[in-house]
Amino acid sequence: MSELAADFQVEAVSPRQLAWIRFKRHRLAMLSGGFLIFIYLMAALCEFITPYGTDTRNVQAINAPPMSVHFFDKAGEFHLRPFVYGYDMHINADTWMRDYVENPEKRYPIYFLAKGERYEFWNLFYSDIHLFTTKEGYLHLFGTDQLGRDLFSRVFYGARVSLSIGILGVALTLFLGVLLGGLAGYIGGLVDRVVQRVIEVLQSLPTLPLWMALSAALPVSWSSLGIYFGITIILSLFGWPALARQVRGKFLALREEDFVMSARLLGAGRMRVIFKHMLPSFNSHIIATATLAVPGMILGETALSFLGIGLRPPVVSWGVLMQQAQNYQVIVLTPWLLLPGLFVVLTVMAFNLLGDGLRDAVDPYSTAGQG
């Protein structure tokens, strides 16, 4: 009988716990979060993770396909230490392209935490320890490009640039969006009308053509770093309206709430009220929105660089890498050059899934509330 009574009881759970419970239910969001942590870590440590630098050329393997890792040699014998076979290259008489076949005679064992090419880690110190490398021969897990550069290494160096543009761009977007949306919502009146009009205009512009125009305007003489920041700024310039709109709406609602009123009556300055009192009360929503904004930045960089008006070689980014796969000749003959695209897709998907999970968790009634 008392058991029945317990059925009617609802456990007391704090909103934060409830959000975490809801988030944990999104398995895909959890998985995506894990994947993103992994790939950002790889990007951060790319000098160490990858066997070669971005410009190291292997003339013995030009346009070579990805190598497969073996544990059993041709005699069927098992080796605990994985190894790859070196390539024999000959020119295909029909296509005049290089054809590669594995040569069982050239067995290159893979060593972990072994000495390899010398690199400078984050401009901090020099080292030659790599996560994995070979002592003799070469190792191209993702194949090589037409200059014989290792695609695996370039993908992770590219990840550093592309992924950091995503984060940096969103940080800038957040700043602009929260500042302008906050001002519009908090001050109201003329400021609000102006900001709203600008938002409307920016949202009705076809983004890519304008990105193209702006990045084409970046002076060729700029350094790589300058171009990098230029592109980031261009991407954020059209990203903030959506966020500003959300922040503005929230501020309009919050402005009337008691704690903001009392802070104002106590004589707190505007900025202080905004940043100290109002922002913290909805930062969970901002985190969710920001997460959903990262993919747009990454895709933007990729598209611009792919078109040749974004980042330029020698900078390596996923978009720059994709630039090599501009026409279908290349795709048909060296399809592995599309691998950076796979990383773009996975990362963008992960950010979307994570953002969805976060949004559902902090704001269950915004979309699929009735679960």
Partner 1 sequence: MLEIPLGSKSGIESCMNSYITRRLLGMVPTLILISMIIFVVIQLPPGDIVTSTLDRMQAQGVEVSAEQIQNLRAQYNLDQPMVLQYLSWIGNFVTGDMGYSYLFSRPVNELVWERLGYTLLITVSALLFTWAVAVPAGVYSAVRQYSVGDYVLTTVMLMGLATPSFLLALVAMYIGYEWFGISIGGLFSPEYRDVPWSLARVGDFLSHLWIPMVVVGLGGTASTMRILRANLLDELNKPYVVTARAKGVKPIKLLIKYPLRIAINPFISTIGLLLPALISGEAIVSIVLGLPTTGPALIEALINQDMYLAGSFLMLLSILTVVGMLLSDLLLAWADPRIRYE
Partner 2 sequence: MGEQKIAEDNVLAIRDLAVEFKTDIGMTYAVRDVSFSVPRGKVTAVVGESGSGKSVTANCIMRLIQPPGKIVSGSIDFSPTRTDGYDIVSLSNKDPRLFDLRGDLMSMVFQEPMTALSPVYTVGNQVAEAILCHRDVSEAEAWQEAVDMLTRVGIDDVSRRIHQYPFEFSGGMRQRVVIAMALVCNPELLICDEPTTALDVTIQAEILTLIRDLQQELKNSVLFITHDLGVVAQLADQVVVMYQGRVLEIGTVRQVLKDPLHPYTRGLLAAIPGLAQKGERLETISSVVGDADLETPYPLTQMADGRQVSLSPDLLREAGHE
Helix, strand, or coil (residue 87): strand
**Beta pairing class for 125-134 and 70-72:** unpaired
Question: Which residues, 6 or more positions from 127, have their beta carbon under 8 angstroms from its beta carbon?
Answer: 47, 48, 118, 119, 121
* 141-200 positions binding partner 1, by CB under 8 A: 197-198, 200
2 binds, among partner 1, partner 2, none (CB under 5 to 8 A by kind): partner 2
Angle, CA of 240, 188 and 257, to the nearest 5°: 95
One character per residue 55-94, x = contact with partner 1 (rule: CB under 8 A):
----------------------------------------
Q: Which is nearer to partner 1, 9 or 367 (CB)?
A: 367
Distance of closest approach, residue 122 Cβ to partner 2, in angstroms: 44
With beta carbons less than 8 A apart as the criterion, state whether 337 and 344 touch: no
Q: Which is nearer to partner 1, 48 or 229 (CB)?
A: 229
Mark the segment that binds partner 1 (CB under 8 A) among 36-44, 102-110, 164-172, 323-331.
323-331
With beta carbons less than 8 A apart as the criterion, state whether 311 and 227 touch: yes
The answer for 63, left when phi > 0, alpha when psi is -120 to 50, beta otherwise, is left
Q: Which is nearer to partner 2, 1 or 59 (CB)?
A: 1
Q: What are the beta bridge partners of residue 120?
A: 126
Q: Which is nearer to partner 1, 157 or 306 (CB)?
A: 306
Q: Which is nearer to partner 1, 153 or 162 (CB)?
A: 162
Placement of tokens 């500003």 in the chain: 244
With beta carbons less than 8 A apart as the criterion, state whether 277 and 268 touch: yes
Tokens matching residue 169: 């761009």
Q: Is 309 in the site for partner 1 (CB under 8 A)?
A: yes
Mark the segment that binds partner 1 (CB under 8 A) among 10-18, 166-174, 282-290, 342-350.
342-350
Q: Measure the CA–CA gap between 319 and 340, rounded to whole angstroms.
A: 8
Q: Which is nearer to partner 1, 147 or 331 (CB)?
A: 331
Q: Measure the CA–CA gap between 169 and 209, rounded to whole angstroms.
A: 18
Q: Which positions lie near partner 1, rule CB under 8 A?
A: 197-198, 200-201, 203-210, 212-214, 216-217, 219, 295, 299, 302-303, 306-307, 309, 322, 325-326, 328, 331-332, 335, 338, 341, 344-346, 348-349, 352-353, 366-371
